[in-house]
């Protein structure tokens, strides 16, 4: 590792200009996070780039800046797995006393043990005496909230900045060839957008494991948030329209006067239902779990009520509806299990969990994480055993919402909703290429068969 010293005269600008190292303009898209800056890189460049949304907010006025004849060392690193800021600084030969005083300052605004993640990166400026002048720490997932530590006279002072993100609305239209994830990938977008659609907006009304057919079309109007022209994460999906052979559905994001937001079809009916179709993320399900006819442990045919979803250990398990936990603990062959009682005589059960995250008696919300997938009890591999029961009868979770309609918006909000709907529709039309397929109030009825 070579350390390049930068002449102090260049660094005079430090007093008023915030430092932000150049970094690769690239993101993996898949998680809505940045590709980290190169590891353990030492500044090659003596000209610091300014940080837009400048931190030169006048509060530096009392800071006279480094001495003009000083030499500075700029160190940069990106944290690796199981890494810590202090291990990284140690690798770069920063002396212990300086690490300790930096630690003291950082701990005032930031939990350096719990909130550090691989991919976070920093830039450290040391003077020629090896003393910390400035430390700029950028969380990979929330680069708009960097931590800035600066020397004010003899003390290091830390603060967390809250920089604005730029919100840009994008439109897209994509044809399904095999599945939703692949279709979203073809328009250059990441899995986080698939999650918003499959688990969020349409999680109770479109079964993305079974309903899509080749040639179905999905049109989207969605926000992407940027920091310095780099994608940070997705914002809201403003409108999504799925037109398929098995199911067609429009989802329009609408916020009411009380600030509650939800997704509605073109008639203003909510896409919410009492139950989600799946108790775990769409992308987390690897397959339907195949029970062998002869149970490999009992070596006899075991009657099986419920549905099994293969998923890797640790995959989140959600309550499919609002309710009260009536069992949370070991239950025979189900291993670690959670049972939830819901309104209208329903009960859901979740078995073979590796972890339980709720306690008996607790109220849970729809899509609240109640546990993690595991293989406890009588299970041959990690999977979720899921049951939905009404009045003692087992129901098929994947058809539970068929024929059910959502709550309509109150009549006094309909005018505002229609205005918003038409505005988004025009925008979607302008952004996509096949306006003929656009939603109309008449064709948003689900094409799903009635039960």
| Piece in contact with Zn ion (CB under 5 A), picked from 215-223, 306-314, 416-424, 425-433 | 306-314
Rounded Cα gap, residues 152 and 131, in angstroms: 12
Binding pattern for the stretch 67-106 against Zn ion, x by CB under 5 A and - elsewhere: ----------------------------------------
Give the tokens for residue 352.
């073979």
Residue 385 C-beta: closest distance to Zn ion, Å: 3
Task: Kindly tell me which residue out of 253, 385, 421, 425 binds Zn ion, with binding defined by CB under 5 A.
Answer: 385
CB of 353 to Zn ion, least distance (A): 12
Q: How far is the CB of 374 from Zn ion (least distance, A)?
A: 13
Instruction: Report the DSSP pairing between strands 147-152 and 230-243.
Output: unpaired
Closest-approach residue to Zn ion (CB): 385
Contact criterion met (CB below 8 Å) for 46 and 7: yes
Smallest gap from Cβ 307 to Zn ion, in A, equals 7
Q: Which residue lies nearer to Zn ion by CB, 66 or 306? A: 306
Based on CB atoms, which residue is closest to Zn ion, 56 or 302?
302
In the complex, what is the shortest distance from the CB of residue 145 to Zn ion, in angstroms, rounded to a whole number? 43
Environment class of residue 61 by beta-carbon count within 10 Å: exposed (0-12), middle (13-18) or buried (19+)?
exposed
Q: Is 387 in the site for Zn ion (CB under 5 A)?
A: no
Q: Can you give the three-state secondary structure of 380-421, one letter per residue? A: CCCEEEEEEEECCEEECHHHCCCCCCCCECCHHHHHHHHHHH
Choose one: 38-46, 157-165, 227-235, 381-389; the region binding Zn ion (CB under 5 A): 381-389
Taken in order 341, 343, 346, 352, the sign of the CA dihedral is: negative
Q: Which stretch binds Zn ion (CB under 5 A): 113-121, 203-211, 237-245, 302-310?
A: 302-310
CB of 368 to Zn ion, least distance (A): 22
- Residue 304 and residue 54: Cα distance in Å, rounded? 62
Find all residues with CB under 8 Å of 93, minimum gap 6, and list them. none
Query: C-beta of 327: minimal distance to Zn ion in Å?
Result: 16
Angle at 45 between CA 41 and CA 46, to 5 degrees: 125
Looking at residue 409, what DSSP letter applies?
P
Which CB sits closer to Zn ion, 177 or 330? 330
| Gap between the Cα atoms of 136 and 149, Å rounded | 6
Q: What is the CA angle 386-391-395, rounded to 5?
A: 40
Nearer to Zn ion, 23 or 385 (CB): 385
Q: Does 308 bind Zn ion (CB under 5 A)?
A: yes
Task: Measure the CA–CA gap between 447 and 137, rounded to whole angstroms.
Answer: 51
Task: By CB under 5 A, tell whether 349 contacts Zn ion.
Answer: no
- Stretch in the footprint of Zn ion (CB under 5 A) among 15-23, 31-39, 380-388, 398-406: 380-388
Query: Where on the chain is the footprint of Zn ion (CB under 5 A)?
Result: 306, 308, 385
């Amino acid at each position: 590792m070579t350390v390049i010293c930068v002449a102090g005269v260049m660094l005079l600008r430090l007093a008023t200009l915030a430092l932000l190292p150049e970094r690769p303009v690239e993101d993996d898209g898949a998680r809505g996070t940045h590709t980290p800056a190169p590891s353990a890189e030492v500044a090659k460049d003596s000209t610091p780039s300014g940080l837009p949304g400048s931190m030169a907010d006048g509060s530096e006025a009392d800071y006279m800046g480094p001495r003009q004849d000083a030499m500075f060392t700029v160190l940069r690193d990106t944290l690796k797995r199981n890494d810590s800021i202090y291990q990284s600084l140690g690798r770069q030969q920063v002396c212990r006393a300086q690490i300790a005083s930096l630690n003291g300052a950082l701990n005032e605004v930031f939990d350096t043990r719990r909130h550090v993640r691989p991919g976070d990166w920093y830039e450290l400026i040391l003077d020629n005496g090896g003393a910390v002048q400035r430390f700029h720490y950028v969380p990979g997932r929330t680069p708009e909230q960097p931590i800035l530590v600066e020397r004010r006279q003899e003390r290091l002072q830390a603060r967390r900045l809250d920089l604005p993100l730029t919100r840009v609305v994008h439109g897209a239209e994509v044809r399904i060839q095999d599945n939703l994830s692949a279709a979203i990938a073809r328009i250059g977008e990441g899995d986080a957008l698939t999650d918003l659609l499959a688990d969020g907006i349409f999680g109770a009304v479109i079964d993305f494991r079974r309903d899509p057919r080749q040639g179905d079309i999905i049109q989207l109007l969605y926000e992407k948030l940027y920091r310095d022209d780099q994608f940070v994460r997705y914002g809201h999906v403003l409108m999504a329209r799925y037109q398929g052979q098995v199911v067609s559905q429009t989802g329009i994001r609408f916020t009411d006067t009380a600030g509650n937001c939800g997704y509605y079809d073109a008639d203003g009916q909510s896409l919410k239902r009492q139950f989600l179709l799946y108790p775990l993320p769409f992308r987390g399900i690897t397959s339907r779990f195949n029970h062998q006819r002869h149970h490999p442990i009992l070596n006899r045919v075991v009657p099986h009520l419920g549905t099994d979803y293969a998923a890797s250990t640790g995959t989140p398990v959600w309550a499919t509806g609002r309710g009260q936990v009536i069992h949370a603990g070991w239950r025979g062959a189900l291993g670690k299990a959670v049972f939830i009682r819901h309104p209208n005589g329903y009960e859901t059960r979740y078995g073979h969990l590796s972890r339980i995250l709720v306690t008996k008696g607790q109220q849970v919300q729809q899509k609240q994480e109640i546990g993690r997938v595991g293989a406890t009890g009588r299970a041959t591999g990690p999977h979720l055993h899921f049951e939905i029961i009404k009045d003692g009868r087992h129901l098929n979770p994947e058809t539970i919402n068929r024929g059910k309609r959502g709550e309509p918006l109150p009549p006094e909000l309909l005018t505002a909703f229609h205005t918003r709907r038409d505005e988004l529709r025009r925008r979607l039309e302008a952004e996509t290429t096949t306006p003929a397929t656009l939603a109309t109030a008449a064709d948003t009825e689900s094409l799903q068969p009635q039960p």
